[in-house]
Every structure is written in C-alpha cells, then in structure tokens.
C-alpha cells in the first residue's frame, strides 16, 4: 500500500450524485477559513436550520497527504444533501497537521465550534460524530467537553484509546520480528529513525515469509495478536470456518495492508508527537494471551498444517527481550487520548464485525471502561455484519444518527433491535444502501446488515 493512501476512513468516501441532485436544500455557502494554528474549517448552515449542528471529525490522514477541511461533505457526499435539506448545519476542520493528530483535532474542532457560535449563535443541540481516528476524537469531545457536545456518534472508532491501541500493534510487530525476521537487525519496532526504509524492510521480510506454509503460519500468529479478522475486503463473502486457506489469506491481507504500514512506518509520526516511544510489551505473556485470541483455532490449524510447534514459538516470544516505553511519551499518548470512565452525554457507536484497521474488539474495551451504572442510560453499540474499515452504507449511518437523535429527544433509548434497524435502513432505497469500497468503487446496492454481536476481549 502506498504511504500516501494510508487514510483511516478511506473506505467511507461515499457518493450518490443522483440523490444529491434531487435535494432542494437552500444553504448559506460553505465558509472555508483558517484557524490560528493553520487548520482550515468548513461550515454549512441551511436556511431552514433546525437548530442542530453536526460536528464531524475526519479519520487519519497519512503524513504528506492532502488535508482539506471536512464538515462531513467531503467524506460522505450521499448524506450531505439529505442532512442539509432536513435542516442540519454541518461543520468540521482539517486539523492543523496530518498524521496522528488527536491533539490538533481536539483543539481545532472546539475552535471550529467557536466560529460557528460567533457567526450563527449557539446551537440548540450539538452532535459530535466521526469515523476511525475521528471516532476516537468524537468520544473524547463528548467525554471531555459535555458543555459543548450533547451527544456523540462514533463510527469504526479506535475506542481502546491511543495507548492501548499502539501497545496492541506493538504485539503484532514484535511477533513478526521475532518469528519471521530474526535475521534483520535493521528492522525497528520502536524509535523509528527512517520510517520509509523501515517499512520497505518490513515489506521485504513479509513477502519472503508468506511464500512458505511455515512463514504464513507465523505471520498469521503475528496478525492474530493485532486481532486481525479472517474476513477481508468490503465486497467478498465471509470465508466459512472450514476454509483455512481463505481465512488465513484474509488475515495476512489485513496485516500486510494495515498492520505493517502503521507499525513500521506511521508509528514514527506518533513518536515524533509524543517525544519518544509510547508503547511497551514489558510483562506481557504471549503464551497466556494466545488463549484469548479470536482467531486461535485458525492459528492452531495453520501451525499443524505447517508442521510447526506452536507452543515452542509462543515460548520463544515470551523469552525474547522486551520493548520499553518512554514514560513521557506514555503520558502524551494517554492525554491524546484515552477514553472511558464517566460518560456525561449519550454515546452511540457503530462498527463492522470484520475491521482490520480498527478491530471490533475496540468496542468491548470501551464498553468495559464505562461504569456499569452509566452503560444502560448513556451507551449503545451497533454492529454491522460486513468486512471493511468503516464500510457502512449511507442508510445505516442515517439510521444510527436518527437513533441517537431520538435518544436526545426522548431522554431514553428506544429499541435498537437489528431487525427494526435494517427495516428502517431498507426504506431509504437502493440509492443510499451502497457505499464506496476500499478500492474506490461504488458497491452495488447491499442489504442493511445490523446484527446482534458481542465482540471478543481487546487484548490490551
């Protein structure tokens, strides 16, 4: 994968030109302008404004990528005309820089909200929403600034938080280097000095390892520690449980396209921001952790087919020297940002069940971080049976947003039964029941796919 294309939320570039042309919304022109730190923002307020502002937080943009403002319109074109026609105002910023810009995002989104208030007055209701890294920013805004945000819709979010997310990624990097790249002394797991060269070396070693059954089994073990799913792309059917080769190929594809670049290249951006390495595997037992892996049956089968001793490899991992974190960098990662705990406003989350960039297990971690006394009244989580990162249809997104709005109006959650949600999404018709796939093509119309689902444990 080319470095410039590594964008969280890339699968969510939805378009629907015919639907857009049908909207008769009257809007004030977008207001692109610049914040004090150099971030740009965009604001749209329709003439029939209903008093609600949707504050959109976009996903990760790789260093050096284009960095336009996103008030939602640039990310979800199919939704923009409908939301404006219904009277919603839209706002969002670019963030001051690309990369893991959570610190910038929190500041810039609040300053964008300030601009909106100065121009148009305080909204009756402000809803934060966003995808992927923007899902994490969305929840952080809701938790840290309940005086500014009334509710939040976090989609495909990194809800385990920065510290835990990058620790888990380190587990996969570590297993990859110890088991598949022992001969490479140049491959850096942390404190990466030359990210481009480091990524090239990781890719070279990955390509060499995947040519043999033993190499593929060990790569799959590394991918399993990142909780990569065994269902890949947003168009293919889920491989059946008995299809060991198909499931193994899916895991390796996720690890190659997401785990390697973020672990061995883009980690350097976070380290630069944090002033050091925020990740550690000190004290981790990979032998113990294996028993909790969602894909452990697949790993056992792959190791058996390759004639490898799985327990021996796990003990090798446990005996290998550990990576230490820099305390000040850990403090930074926790500040920007770890979430969970007191939940002052209603939060609705949504995740596909096979997301190899932000694994669905993030949802379990977040739910368990919210006090039991608050979960019933403040938190709901929706799951979509589809593979892909942020691979939601416009109709599924609208149904989720409507569910959150109903919670804010009524003060209690209404039924979020998957059958009812799918019926509601189906009513939007084919035009809104498709999405742009991860390779940039619009899917054919698909059936809404909300399901009951309980994620496995997040290992970090």
Rounded distance between C-alpha atoms, residue 397 and residue 404, angstroms: 11
Angle between helices 195-209 and 267-274 (to 10 degrees): 140
Name 119's Cβ contacts closer than 8 Å, sequence gap at least 6. Answer: 31, 43
Q: Dihedral of CA 258/262/263/264: which sign?
A: positive
CATH architecture of 3-160+337-451: 3-Layer(aba) Sandwich (3.40)
Structure tokens that stand for 134 in this block: 């923007």
**CB atoms < 10 A from the CB of 67, how many?**
19
Helices H, strands E: what count in the chain?
A: 18, 9
Q: Return residue ranges of the chain for CATH 3.40.50.1820.
A: 3-160+337-451
Cβ burial of 1 (10 Å; 0-12, 13-18, 19+) is middle
Per-residue pLDDT of the chain (460 residues; tens, 9 = 90+): 333 333 333 223 222 222 222 334 455 556 559 999 999 999 999 999 999 999 999 999 999 999 988 765 445 567 888 999 999 999 999 999 999 999 999 999 999 999 999 999 999 999 999 999 999 999 999 999 999 999 999 999 999 999 999 999 999 999 999 999 876 778 999 999 999 999 999 999 999 999 999 999 999 999 999 999 999 987 778 999 999 999 999 999 999 999 999 999 999 999 999 999 999 999 999 999 999 999 999 999 999 999 999 999 999 999 999 999 999 999 999 999 999 888 999 999 999 999 999 999 999 999 999 888 788 899 999 999 999 999 999 999 999 999 999 999 999 999 899 999 999 999 999 989 987 777 667 778 899 999 999 999 999 9
- 59 within 8 A of 70, measured Cβ to Cβ: no
Q: What are phi and psi of 224, to 5 degrees?
A: -65, -35
Residues 90-129 pLDDT 10s: 999 999 999 999 999 999 999 999 999 999 999 999 999 9
- 163 within 8 A of 201, measured Cβ to Cβ: no
Rounded distance between C-alpha atoms, residue 261 and residue 450, angstroms: 30
Rounded distance between C-alpha atoms, residue 23 and residue 63, angstroms: 36
Residues 319-369 pLDDT 10s: 999 999 999 999 999 999 999 888 999 999 999 999 999 999 999 999 999
């Amino acid at each position: 994968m080319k470095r410039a294309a590594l964008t969280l939320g890339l699968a969510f570039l939805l378009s629907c030109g015919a639907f857009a042309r049908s909207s008769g919304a009257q809007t004030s022109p977008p207001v692109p302008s610049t914040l004090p730190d150099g971030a740009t923002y965009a604001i749209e307020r329709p003439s029939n404004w209903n008093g609600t502002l949707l504050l959109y937080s976009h996903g990760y943009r790789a260093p050096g990528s284009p960095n336009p403002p996103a008030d939602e319109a640039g990310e979800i074109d199919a939704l923009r005309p409908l939301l404006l026609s219904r009277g919603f105002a839209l706002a969002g910023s670019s963030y001051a820089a690309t990369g893991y810009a959570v610190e910038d995002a929190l500041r810039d989104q609040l300053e964008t909200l300030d601009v909106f208030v100065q121009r148009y007055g305080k909204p009756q209701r402000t809803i934060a929403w966003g995808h992927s890294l923007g899902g994490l920013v969305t929840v952080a805004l809701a938790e840290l600034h309940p005086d500014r945000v009334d509710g939040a819709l976090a989609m495909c979010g990194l809800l385990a938080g920065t510290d835990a997310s990058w620790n888990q990624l380190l587990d996969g990097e570590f297993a990859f280097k110890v088991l598949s790249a022992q001969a490479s002394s140049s491959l850096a797991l942390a404190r990466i000095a030359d990210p481009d060269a480091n990524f090239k070396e990781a890719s070279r070693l990955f390509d060499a390892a995947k040519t043999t059954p033993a190499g593929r089994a060990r790569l799959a073990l590394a991918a399993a520690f990142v909780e990569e799913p065994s269902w890949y792309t947003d168009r293919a059917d889920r491989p059946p449980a008995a299809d060991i080769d198909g499931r193994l190929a899916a895991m390796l594809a996720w690890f190659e396209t997401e785990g390697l670049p973020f672990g061995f290249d883009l980690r350097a951006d976070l380290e630069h921001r944090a002033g050091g390495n925020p990740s550690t595997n000190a004290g981790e037992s990979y032998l113990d952790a294996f028993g909790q892996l969602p894909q452990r049956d697949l790993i056992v089968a792959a190791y058996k087919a390759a004639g490898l001793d799985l327990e021996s490899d796990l003990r090798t991992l446990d005996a290998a020297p550990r990576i230490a974190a820099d305390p000040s960098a850990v403090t930074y990662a926790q500040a920007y940002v770890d979430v969970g705990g007191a939940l002052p406003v209603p939060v609705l989350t949504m995740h596909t069940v096979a997301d190899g960039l932000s694994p669905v297990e993030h949802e379990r971690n977040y739910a368990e971080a919210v006090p039991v006394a608050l979960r019933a009244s403040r938190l709901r989580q929706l799951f979509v049976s589809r593979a892909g990162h942020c691979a939601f249809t416009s109709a599924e997104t609208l149904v989720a947003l409507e569910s959150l709005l109903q919670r804010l109006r009524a003060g209690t959650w209404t039924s979020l039964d998957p059958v009812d949600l799918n019926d509601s999404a189906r009513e939007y018709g084919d035009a809104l029941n498709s999405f742009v796939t991860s390779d940039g093509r619009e899917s054919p119309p698909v059936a809404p796919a909300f399901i009951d689902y309980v994620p496995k444990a997040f290992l970090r």
